[in-house]
Structure 1
């Protein structure tokens, strides 16, 4: 079986969908929070300011479908559900840390451009 080459510049390539998913602001924030370990839905909802319940549900379902997040339902009353990163999801942490670091390092320059001032 030949190895598949994925080209995100090709609109029909599934790698483009994956880049859209991991580049989504909610995905980045949810994965960042789950780095600390398993969280319940309500914990995630409180930590990701501004996300609606509907958007959090959609994000978690998509991450689960892509194999990045594991959803575990415990047979308790009341029911308890936790979300945690899979090994595949954890493999995203290093590139996400690099992006967060870059954003932190260059935010001052970006703000200067946004304000219309020249940058030396």
Structure 2
């Protein structure tokens, strides 16, 4: 019993398989190459789309963090101007501290483990 497994993420089948196909059905070799080209184009298109969505997600997250930071600091300033100095300081500090922790923790979770 012979078990053979050729697992690859490459869009092209192994040379041995192409040679066997050439021996059996020579007219299908060109078809295989055409299908391989179509598959490669689809993979590139899909990868480009995934990269675009990741970029939009990251930029959206940064924009949301900017809005939260500005609102938190503005709220702290507003509270301080209304006579609640300690409250204003706590709100602004908590906003900045929470954003800093979120960015630092998010970067550590996203980085590859060694």
Q: Specify the TM-score bucket, using the shorter chain as the normaliser.
A: under 0.3
In terms of fraction of residues, the more helix-rich structure is: 2
Structure ranking higher in strand proportion: 1
Structure ranking higher on relative contact order (CA contacts 8 Å, 6+ apart): 1
Name which one, 1 or 2, has greater alpha-carbon Rg: 2
Query: TM (normalized to structure 1)?
Result: 0.25
